[in-house]
Structure 1
Amino acid sequence: MGGGSDRRRWAYLGSYTEEGGRGITVAEVDAATGALTARYSTAEPADPSFLALAPDGGVLYAVSETDDGSAAALSLADPARPRPLGAPVPVRGDAPTHLALAAGRLFTANYGSGSVSVLPVGDGGTLGPPSEVFAHRGSGPVTDRQAGPHAHAVVPDPSGRWLLSADLGTDSVWTYALDPATGAPAPHGQSVLPAGSGPRHLAFHPRGEHAYVVNELEPTVTVCRWDAVSGRLEPTGGTRVVPTGVRMTTYPSAPVVSADGRFLWVANRGHDSIATLALDASGERPELRGTVACGGRWPRHLAAGPGDRLLYAANQRSGDVTWFTVDEDSGLPRRAGSIDVPAASCVLLA
């Protein structure tokens, strides 16, 4: 973790400053229970809705989900007090909702403009202006949400050779090849998912042979086979993430796959729950085991603690981060505690 000599564990909690959030809250993590205690917060950058950590743990990255979106780098030389590494860098895209590090670069998914930006990472973790911006094209049948592309997530594949972007507006996942020599990205392909599903995010099985795409416009996960040699993503089926018979409008948000590949957890906004899906040996047939209350309202993000013994939910509308212990056999979470985090958007455990 950042700082090297500090043996305490930390969590970084993003929030929407325009909704009264504190920006990035630093919380200490109890090593025995996983409980969070807020220690510090910084209001800059604005609306840091998603966070990522440098591989060495020394730099924290944040997107600013604003109309004129930007990304920021913060030093974790003192992990309890992040400090900006220069001014936020415009990403040349609107409303970035997600970011990821791959091939020595920072990628952002820009929801408003439906594009993916590529920012070089310099010495010490500083960010440079975008070297490239890739614009998605297309639309979907849900006219009020899918009039154009809306890139919502960027996720490197386990092999490190590809970057995938879930696009809610085009009902597809776009794939970018990362040059094995230089790391430079290039558009590679587009995998079409069910019309009107609204792909929002995705997570890989630990074996790297399957990906699970969480859809926002219907309460489902699309299961896909992934070929890391060809860079091909092939949808094979879908699974509901709320029980049959639930009629309330539900907007799934975030997936987490357990490190042992036994469980897939999905946060459900509206239904305000965490779904637990059991994964079979193949990883291709998730089965809904049940849902539990998320501990608040509008769970925008989920994160797993060490060994998958804990889950953390960022509940945006109730303004809290709630943590759960996970039953080892069933995978079902049980609420253990929470802290106030107004307009919570993201949980990152360092």
Structure 2
Amino acid sequence: MKKLSFLFSVLIATTLFAQKTYVFFGSFNWDKTKPGIYVYELTLKTGKLKKVTTATGIKNPSYLTLSPDGKFVFACTDTKTENGGSVSSFEFNPENKSLSFINAQKSGGENPVYLTVHKNGKWLINANYTEGSASVYPISDAGIIGPYAQNFQFSEGSVNPKRQDRAHIHSTVFSPNFDYVFMPDLGADKIRIFKFDSDKKEPLLEAEPNFNQSVLGSGPRHFTFHPNGKFAYCIEEMGGAVSVYDYENGKLNTIQRIFTHPENQSGDFESSDIHISPDGKFLYATNRGTENNIAIFSINEDGKLKNVGYQSTFGKHPRIFALDETGDFLIATNVQTSNATGFKRNKETGLLQKISKVKGLKNVSCVQIKNYY
């Protein structure tokens, strides 16, 4: 018995020793000769971040996502460039800590802003903000992105003529079972809904209903599901709020709408990103503009939210943030101050404590965290 216990302890220790955690930052570099993607190693015991490599030769890799196995990094590239837009693929080797360019494809619309990968690693979907469209790409086993198999263009806007003159798809998110895709449309105040069949050559199919109506003028932006698959949450950029939904089989039912700022606060809001802790107990949402903070909510058993605090991001314009797979750490990017801030998360209270800050990440706009074994 003692021998088995000893062997188990050795196995756990070996696993922890072998595990390495890497952090990937994307940016608006505006110059292909300058780094666009930065890769850091995160030490889980201390939260310390150490740079290991960068990637050049690409312009404005503003949003990143990783394949399920972490072997490939996909980026929205040529973002915010007139008549431009592409999606690019890179191979990451955790052993020699290298990031190598594989290929790129046209994004099917100007200004790609979001990417998501199917759990089987064979499909990639991007959102094009300016032209209000979404494209679906096949991915080979070698990480090569093929020409898009589908491209959906949307046109209608909503009530704010300055911000909502036309459709603006801001994210593309798979359902917990990967059989639906949800696309918040900031321009149309809709969450567009599609079925997804990974076995088809054109896997994206319109659902019925094919959208969920958001509050007019709210500007739905990013979307996430609770780990239990029963609830969904959408952050609204212009409304400065999170809408909470019951979810079942592609259908959303609104159960709450709660502000990401104190209720007595007014003005133009710039809410941006939203994520839930792996234990499903807390939701985090970033506010840009004059706030530059993270709103922290506890999640009740019925899925509804209760605000428990706010945390400064120690920078300006926190566009994207991420939690690591253990739920111990949260890292936020600040575009206008070109820095990222690392926080230790209290799993009991949900509150955050600053433990690190990385400077010199030119116009850093996105972060993803991945454990490698």
TM over 0.5: yes
Change beyond 3 A, Cα 1:179–1:267: same
- The alignment status of 1:302 with 2:327, answered yes or no, reads no
Identity of aligned residues (%): 27
Q: How does 1:209-228 map to 2 (within 5 A)?
A: 209-228=230-249
Instruction: Tell me which residue corresponds to 1:195.
Output: 216
Instruction: Tell me which residue corresponds to 1:84.
Output: 101
C-alpha displacement of 1:167? 0.8
Instruction: Quote the Cα distance in structure 2 between the aligned partners of 1:290 and 1:273.
Output: 10
Query: Contact 2:278 / 2:325 at 8 angstroms: preserved in 1?
Result: no
Instruction: Quote the Cα distance in structure 2 between the aligned partners of 1:117 and 1:161.
Output: 17
Q: How does 1:138-177 map to 2 (within 5 A)?
A: 138-177=156-195
C-alpha displacement of 1:43? 2.4
Query: Contact 2:47 / 2:355 at 8 angstroms: preserved in 1?
Result: no
C-alpha displacement of 1:180? 5.9
Q: Which runs of 5+ in 1 are unaligned?
A: none
Instruction: Quote the Cα distance in structure 1 between the aligned partners of 2:168 and 2:274.
Output: 18
Cα-to-partner distance string for 1:138-172 (whole Å, 9 max, x where unaligned): 21111101000000001111111111111100101
Q: How does 1:76-115 map to 2 (within 5 A)?
A: 76-78=92-94, 80-86=97-103, 88-102=104-118, 104-115=122-133
- The alignment status of 1:13 with 2:31, answered yes or no, reads no
Q: 2:41 aligns with which of 14, 18, 28?
A: 28
Corresponding letter in the other structure for 2:206: P
Q: Which has the larger radius of gyration?
A: 2
Query: Contact 2:47 / 2:356 at 8 angstroms: preserved in 1?
Result: no
Cα-to-partner distance string for 1:197-243 (whole Å, 9 max, x where unaligned): 00000110111111110000011001112112xx1122232001111
Instruction: Quote the Cα distance in structure 2 between the aligned partners of 1:278 and 1:31.
Output: 24
Query: Contact 1:148 / 1:170 at 8 angstroms: preserved in 2?
Result: yes
Query: Contact 2:292 / 2:312 at 8 angstroms: preserved in 1?
Result: yes
Instruction: Quote the Cα distance in structure 2 between the aligned partners of 1:97 and 1:327.
Output: 31
Q: 2:54 aligns with which of 41, 57, 76?
A: 41
Change beyond 3 A, Cα 1:19–1:200: farther
Instruction: Quote the Cα distance in structure 2 between the aligned partners of 1:54 and 1:44.
Output: 21
Q: 2:298 aligns with which of 278, 284, 306?
A: 278
C-alpha displacement of 1:19? 8.2
Q: 2:262 aligns with which of 216, 239, 243?
A: 243
C-alpha displacement of 1:262? 0.9
C-alpha displacement of 1:275? 0.5
Instruction: Quote the Cα distance in structure 1 between the aligned partners of 2:282 and 2:19.
Output: 30
- The alignment status of 1:255 with 2:274, answered yes or no, reads yes
Corresponding letter in the other structure for 1:227: E
Instruction: Quote the Cα distance in structure 2 between the aligned partners of 1:327 and 1:94.
Output: 40
Instruction: Tell me which residue corresponds to 1:346.
Output: 366
TM-score normalised to structure 1 length? 0.93
Instruction: Quote the Cα distance in structure 1 between the aligned partners of 2:341 and 2:64.
Output: 18
Instruction: Tell me which residue corresponds to 2:144.
Output: 126
Query: Contact 1:91 / 1:129 at 8 angstroms: preserved in 2?
Result: no
C-alpha displacement of 1:328? 2.1
Instruction: Quote the Cα distance in structure 2 between the aligned partners of 1:118 and 1:291.
Output: 37
Question: What is the total number of aligned residue pairs between the two structures?
Answer: 342
Instruction: Tell me which residue corresponds to 2:7.
Output: none
Change beyond 3 A, Cα 1:6–1:308: closer
C-alpha displacement of 1:7? 4.4
- The alignment status of 1:55 with 2:68, answered yes or no, reads yes
Q: Which runs of 5+ in 2 are unaligned?
A: 1-16
Query: Contact 1:17 / 1:43 at 8 angstroms: preserved in 2?
Result: no
TM-score normalised to structure 2 length? 0.88
Instruction: Tell me which residue corresponds to 2:87.
Output: 71
Instruction: For residue 152 of structure 1, give the secondary structure of its aligned residue in structure 2.
Output: coil
